[in-house]
Structure 1
């Protein structure tokens, strides 16, 4: 008998025509310790599937944690295309106990059965091929196929035509894994945020995992799957992001220019004797005009340090130096002459006593050459000299030398007087030179002071010109900021137009979220979903940790309900790993199971698959077939998922 395809207790769904099963669902999960040796063979079904690991407390030595329910979820994700199935420590433990271990699923994709088997060890012998079941397939191909055949087929089934919309960080190769991450949130994320799907510590290697992954990219994935993102919006958003990035740089540049300009304005205000506390009205024109006037005034000031006087003073100094040098030269010459005359007088004075003694012996004169008595020399001739010794010559020689000595003494006295005169002249020249140098130094200092004053005024004018240029640069930078702000505003308005084009989709999602939320938590207040620049916002009538977790779980189920109707690209497959009663509250926790059961009633058979793992005991009717698919415990090891203690 055909089921009612419309309202069941207030929830109104219209399943997509022609469907008799979910577009994607897992029929079976098998774990092999080694090829041919099964540890687990777990059948699953469309609709709700409960995986329960009872938390019986320490009283009986059993706890719900450690039974393997999260490993079960990771194995499912791994078989559906995720790159890893757990953190390094878990994979090493599995490898140690099960070096040849394998895990596989029989999965239905758009009415076709896929057999997927993946190695748990180091050798990636992965197979993904179509076939009836593992029981009916005696052997797999000799060469592993890898996961690409299945992931490509899943991508075509659900994301065909939308892959090009994926963010660059995800790309076409990561598109299916990104969608898979949303469908199978990590337990570690604890429903803390709508866009938190993968913990960086889960070892999944998902393209949306990692602390540095942008939430905007995950939001884009969600919108693509909901068919709430168009190429025009992506293009506009990218252009707006580029403008926003450029605008940020322009604002930084304008702020730096404004800061430098304010600092320069204050400095110029002090230099130009303006009020530094009222600098806002000092524009570039006023400052440059004031600086130019100050320089002109300094350059035109009368001063004693004129160029002509400097030249004259330097000439006077040079003349005094020449006079000094001439006096020194004259003194040197006179001193040399005086020394010569003194030496001559001394030599003559040393010779005269001997000549005088000889002249006193005129009665027996002796030849000064041969020492023979002159009388004898005259009579017999001189044997040494061919000249005849003459007493008159001797007298003449003595007289001449006496005269020469007198002349030398007289010249010495004259030179002594001349030398004294030259020394007086030198003293006058030294005094004049000192006076001229002092006068020149004063003139040069005055000129130096004036030059410094002029240079200071020139530097102030240079800074005023720099201020004028900086003002122009700031004006250009502020104009660029204004233009970019205008472009950003225009592009933001375009984005709103693009987003308004998907208003119908968001409205449907909002209505469905409201209906599903009230199924789980009866309330008269309206719930809603909105989409704006910050992403999806969920409005619920209450707040708190429990409601925060609940609204995310309800949102996922609302999307599943729309997938039943064929209104999204979502496969209608969902895993919630450990939504705890302690987080949600007893009645709300029960409401999730009741909601899933009600959703099973739409269509000829359930058109979704919802797998829930829990440590809290499910409501009584869900503790057995057909909903309870697996019961595992933390101890003893035999009742764990892998049947052993890792």
Structure 2
């Protein structure tokens, strides 16, 4: 193997940071057991610092079974992730199939976490996952056989989280929750189903890996882990996220209220008989806007004035006055008739008294001496003026009867006049009632529009305010982006150094000078490969945008940039159409990183990669230090679990 040539082009030489003498976490051993007993080993895989290759048997002749696939490479990577805290170790189908044939299988991981040895034991059965446990020990057999459950698996995951994240500032994702260890693990151990298409695409729904972040959040996680996001920027990002939410809320409010306005105003405008181009006055009045509340009030006031005028113009009072006068006159004639009739009756009684025989009551009287009353009656019977008096009374009766007849006739005339007045009054009342009813109906209709007008008015003011608020929010977002950019400028040196590492790796792969770089923007950290390196084709894009970038971030942490834990796994990263020499060069570059350490015990990273393609010959010795396991589909023994599931 040649000496390290990484950064052989003219650029500043970088060296491993002296204060980073081992990975933050690295896997020493992975053991798969058929039962919870150290003697029931299905597979025992030892790992090392630096490069670890899990390869498959490479067939030399055609025919026979496919030797590189369905042997357990991905399952092994998922079991490693499972020991680090993921809830699943495969698709639902895979887990069910394994559980059906290996009902009591366990996986054991021997990890170094911040220099401390840990043994993690987890059942390969979802129903028994809660039985996982851990112990701070370097003897996995003792832990398994004694079932030394010193700590819960959750406690172990917390230890990993503390070790990886302790030197990073607290960071809340745009969705609001705090970034956590499993978010970082997703970057360090991509699902192969993602196809290594994008640097910020880590999890695939078919892999059953659990909840995942979106691509933008992933870019922010990379920026955060690489130490390119300080507390000021995190605080600004939190503020920026709030501004984005606020702006989104303002726009949603504006759009919702504008939609209501567009729906309600045309109907109200038509009811108010306004022109189609008239708008509602908001906070400020314009030449082409009106206040619907004022319009309604003005129309109601106008109708109420018209109502008062129509009532004043009405002849109802005139007819009612005339009606009362005629009624009084009729009452007077009726009173006159009654008086006359009473007088006639009275006079007739007088006449009757005069003409009646005054001796009649005394004719049978036998009193002796003769009754004085009878003598008085005889005197009255021979009164010479009685006849004249009766004649005078009869003349009075005639006068009274004439007066009664006149009054009776006058009453008939007055009654006819009353009928005319009553008819006029009824017609006037009917006419006025119809006219007033029409006016009242319009007033009632307009009063019914008062609430709508008030709501529309308030809506117009709200729309205008939300428009201003949305514009203000957009200006605040623009200002926030400028502040973030100013803060990011503080990391220019670290970004330049990481870009140098990225360029160096791509130059070593492609053998030409390169201008690729990494960029930080408002959406996080991104690789920006030189398009000339990969003018077309997904395979080259995988190399330039994903694999080389991941290795660059690993190398950057080796050199002291950021807080990458210097642990990285790639599951079958080579695409079918990637040129073999390019893919092999990736192994050589990782090996060259390892060669930078003069003391093997100070190698500060671990890279685990599975491959169906042959690694470079110098690294492919199955008995050598780099190939940790060779799987083979031609026999059951060659598969990871020793069985087909």
**TM-score, normalization: structure 1?**
0.72
Moved more, 461-470 or 160-169: 461-470
Moved more, 97-106 or 312-321: 312-321
Structure 1 residues 119, 292: closer, same or farther in 2, change over 3 A? closer
List runs of 5+ in structure 2 lacking aligned partners: 280-284, 335-407
The correspondence of residues 522-537 of structure 1 with structure 2, limited to 5 A, is 522-537=511-526
* Aligned equivalent of 2:639: 640
Contact 1:313-1:439 at 8 Å conserved across structures: no
Whether 1:563 and 2:557 are equivalent positions in the alignment is yes
* Aligned equivalent of 2:606: 609
* Aligned equivalent of 2:68: 64
Contact 2:220-2:524 at 8 Å conserved across structures: no
User: How far, CA to CA, are the matches of 1:168 and 1:462 in structure 2?
Assistant: 41
* Aligned equivalent of 1:368: none
Contact 1:13-1:602 at 8 Å conserved across structures: no
Contact 2:219-2:523 at 8 Å conserved across structures: no
Whether 1:108 and 2:144 are equivalent positions in the alignment is no
Structure 1 residues 128, 314: closer, same or farther in 2, change over 3 A? farther
Whether 1:495 and 2:484 are equivalent positions in the alignment is yes
Deviations 1:477-527 (A, max 9, x none): 444334433433333322222222222222222222122122222344411
SS in 2 for 1:31: strand
Whether 1:587 and 2:586 are equivalent positions in the alignment is no
User: How far, CA to CA, are the matches of 1:51 and 1:117 in structure 2?
Assistant: 22
User: How far, CA to CA, are the matches of 2:230 and 2:20 in structure 1?
Assistant: 27
User: How far, CA to CA, are the matches of 2:28 and 2:580 in structure 1?
Assistant: 30
* Aligned equivalent of 1:505: 494
Structure 1 residues 466, 525: closer, same or farther in 2, change over 3 A? same
Contact 1:166-1:221 at 8 Å conserved across structures: no
* Aligned equivalent of 1:222: 222
Deviations 1:207-235 (A, max 9, x none): xx34xx44444334322211112222222
Structure 1 residues 278, 59: closer, same or farther in 2, change over 3 A? same
* Aligned equivalent of 2:77: 73
Structure 1 residues 477, 579: closer, same or farther in 2, change over 3 A? closer
User: How far, CA to CA, are the matches of 1:80 and 1:614 in structure 2?
Assistant: 22
Structure 1 residues 496, 614: closer, same or farther in 2, change over 3 A? same
Structure 1 residues 474, 104: closer, same or farther in 2, change over 3 A? closer
The correspondence of residues 66-465 of structure 1 with structure 2, limited to 5 A, is 66-121=70-125, 122-123=127-128, 124-134=130-140, 139-140=145-146, 142-143=148-149, 145-148=151-154, 150-162=156-168, 164-165=170-171, 167=173, 175-205=180-210, 209-210=211-212, 213-255=213-255, 257=257, 276-277=276-277, 282-284=287-289, 305-307=310-312, 309-312=314-317, 315=320, 433-450=422-439
Deviation at residue 151 of structure 1 after TM alignment: 3.0
Whether 1:41 and 2:41 are equivalent positions in the alignment is no
Deviation at residue 592 of structure 1 after TM alignment: 1.7
* Aligned equivalent of 1:630: 629
Whether 1:575 and 2:569 are equivalent positions in the alignment is yes
Deviations 1:239-278 (A, max 9, x none): 2222332233333434455566677776787678765347
User: How far, CA to CA, are the matches of 2:275 and 2:326 in structure 1?
Assistant: 53
Deviation at residue 439 of structure 1 after TM alignment: 3.5
User: How far, CA to CA, are the matches of 2:155 and 2:301 in structure 1?
Assistant: 86
Deviation at residue 437 of structure 1 after TM alignment: 2.5
Deviation at residue 587 of structure 1 after TM alignment: 3.5
* Aligned equivalent of 2:363: none
User: How far, CA to CA, are the matches of 1:59 and 1:170 in structure 2?
Assistant: 55
Moved more, 223-232 or 274-283: 274-283
Contact 1:55-1:62 at 8 Å conserved across structures: no
Structure 1 residues 503, 644: closer, same or farther in 2, change over 3 A? same
* Aligned equivalent of 1:333: none
User: How far, CA to CA, are the matches of 2:208 and 2:604 in structure 1?
Assistant: 31
Matched residues, number: 554
SS in 1 for 2:501: helix
Contact 1:530-1:537 at 8 Å conserved across structures: yes
User: How far, CA to CA, are the matches of 2:575 and 2:49 in structure 1?
Assistant: 24
Structure 1 residues 249, 584: closer, same or farther in 2, change over 3 A? same
Deviation at residue 639 of structure 1 after TM alignment: 1.8
Deviation at residue 575 of structure 1 after TM alignment: 0.8
Contact 1:26-1:107 at 8 Å conserved across structures: yes
* Aligned equivalent of 2:56: 53
Deviation at residue 155 of structure 1 after TM alignment: 3.0
Contact 1:320-1:432 at 8 Å conserved across structures: no
User: How far, CA to CA, are the matches of 1:169 and 1:450 in structure 2?
Assistant: 59
List runs of 5+ in structure 1 lacking aligned partners: 330-418
Deviations 1:131-151 (A, max 9, x none): 444468794454352234543
User: How far, CA to CA, are the matches of 2:205 and 2:117 in structure 1?
Assistant: 32
User: How far, CA to CA, are the matches of 2:180 and 2:459 in structure 1?
Assistant: 50
* Structural RMSD (CA): 4.6
Deviations 1:2-36 (A, max 9, x none): x8798557784301126555443323222111212
Contact 1:16-1:564 at 8 Å conserved across structures: yes
Deviation at residue 294 of structure 1 after TM alignment: 6.8
**TM-score, normalization: structure 2?**
0.72
Contact 2:539-2:577 at 8 Å conserved across structures: yes
Contact 1:317-1:433 at 8 Å conserved across structures: no
SS in 1 for 2:151: coil
SS in 2 for 1:185: coil
User: How far, CA to CA, are the matches of 2:489 and 2:106 in structure 1?
Assistant: 49
